[in-house]
Amino acid sequence: MNNIESILIAVSVWAIPVLTALTLHEVAHGRVAILFGDRTAQAQGRLSLNPLKHIDPIGTVLLPIGLFAAGSPFLFGWAKPVPIDARNFRHPRADMAWVALAGPASNLVMACLWTLIGRSGLSGLFGTGVAAAWLINNAKRGLIINVVLAVFNMLPVPPLDGGRVLVGILPPTPAHWLARLEPFGFWIVIALVYLESTHVISVLSPIVASLSNLIARLAS
């Protein structure tokens, strides 16, 4: 196997789980929004499973590539958010909290599915060739990527899903002040990514490890 083939394989076993995780995360938001009365994402064609519909140049491309090149133990990013119009909800704050939860919940479901695929591969269900090894590697990364996305997105800071959930369950006054952080959300996320190699990773690592181990045990 030459260097180019090795690079393509290394990239593919990260790219496929990342794109799948980010795409289904956003589609989950849009699908749950429909249940509560908002079809904005559907009307704008954002419920497609085509990753190209959801790619964000920074969050989907530059950030994961940069983390991969830097040898980061965590590989994460974000997709272009699906449009949600809370004015279409009967209970805007509470309904938005459920819509926000749908994204991380979808990642946990995907983590379980990747784990089942990985265990099936290790049992020999897909054979013992190069393709089987490639699929098992996808599954290993699919598990960790989805758990990282679920945990990172549940940090209680808007515009991350955890921040939106917190806005939905807090009393009106503190919820209002927390929601006012949303316009600065991009810079907050960038700051969290910058701190990833120091403070944030020390907090997230044991949570990610424990949740990954729990999913692996449940799948067995």
User: In angstroms, what CA-CA distances link 142 with 79, 101, 108, 121?
Assistant: 16, 20, 10, 14
DSSP code of residue 180:
T
User: In angstroms, what CA-CA distances link 94 with 4, 31, 167, 172?
Assistant: 50, 16, 9, 11
| 188: exposed, middle or buried (Cβ count in 10 Å: 0-12, 13-18, 19+) | middle
Rounded to the nearest angstrom, the gap between the alpha carbon of residue 55 and the centroid of all alpha carbons in its chain is: 13
Q: Which of 5, 26, 182, 196 is catalytic?
A: 26
| 156: exposed, middle or buried (Cβ count in 10 Å: 0-12, 13-18, 19+) | middle
Read off the amino acid at residue 157.
V
* Residue 196: active-site member: no
CA-based Rg of the chain, rounded to a whole angstrom? 18
Distance between CA atoms of residues 215 and 70, nearest Å = 27
CB 157 within 8 A of CB 185: yes
Residues serving a catalytic function are 26
